[in-house]
Amino acid sequence: MKRIFHVTTFTFRELIRSKMLYIWLLSAIVFCLLAFLLSILSFGEVHKIFMDLGLVGMEWSGTLVLLLSLAVTYNTEFEQKSIYLQLAKPITRGEYLLGRVLGFFSVISLVVLGMGLLIAGLVAFVGGGQVSPMFFYSSVFLLIEMFVLTTLGLTFQMIGTSMVGVVLYSMFTIFLGHCVGQVEWLLNQNLAPAVKTVLRVVHFFLPNLEAFNLKDRIYDPNLIFGWEQWREVLLYGFTYSFVVFLIGWINLEKREFM
């Protein structure tokens, strides 16, 4: 456990030194200005606009930090061979990968939660409204989604052979993960058996990111939200992450560094 903690702290410091938090600051400024502009031009409630755009900004900021972190660390770890410094120590490759996942997730959580606190402050002090409990629930769901994407991205990093490929794989999977609903709709249509077979395979392997999408239903009066929903999302998120982590671990064990 101590060795995992050392890898986690090393990864956290590595990403902080790469100025990833500047992305958060820029994203926060852009989304806050956009929310303020829309609140002036629209007739809606200002605090709802802040919360809606804030949740979108949190998701985009976390995803952007993840993709850039994957690009930066692939360059340093695999192309500049700094991974040798980590694996030369008395540490297993599984501990190394788990530490990397936790380090990445720590930085992304810092970005997402920092922006969430900023949005909550704007809602309370500028928008003149009360922060809905659903905003906090949506933020937690978003953190679970970021954990799944972090594990998935680092697994791609263990499998990929180039920095561009790792980033493209991650982007493509994230995009398709948000299109799971459309894939399910296509499966209910009258399509050729071969097409349905391909869609079923895609649907099985893709992460269902819409399972974490609570922000689109934050004002839904028919939404029933309780322990059952929490249990379902937590079970799906951590089960999918565990399976993906095992795939990344196996590929890292088999990978030879020349």
- Give residues with Cβ within 8 angstroms of 148, minimum separation 6: 207, 209, 212, 237, 240, 241, 244
Give the span between the Cα atoms of 199 and 183, in whole angstroms: 7
Quick one: which of 110, 106, 86, 107 has its CA closest to 3? 86
Tens digits of residue pLDDT in 63-97: 888 988 888 887 777 655 666 566 656 778 888 88
Q: What is the mean pLDDT of residues 150-177?
A: 88
Determine the pLDDT at residue 224: 67
Quick one: pLDDT band at residue 243, thresholds 50, 70, 90? very high
- Above 60 in pLDDT, residue 255? yes
Give the span between the Cα atoms of 244 and 83, in whole angstroms: 21
The encoded tokens of residue 162 equal 């180039």
Give the span between the Cα atoms of 179 and 172, in whole angstroms: 11
- Above 80 in pLDDT, residue 13? yes
| Mean pLDDT over the full length of the chain | 80
- Could you identify the residue written with the tokens 């605090």? 47
Q: What is the mean pLDDT of residues 211-226?
A: 73
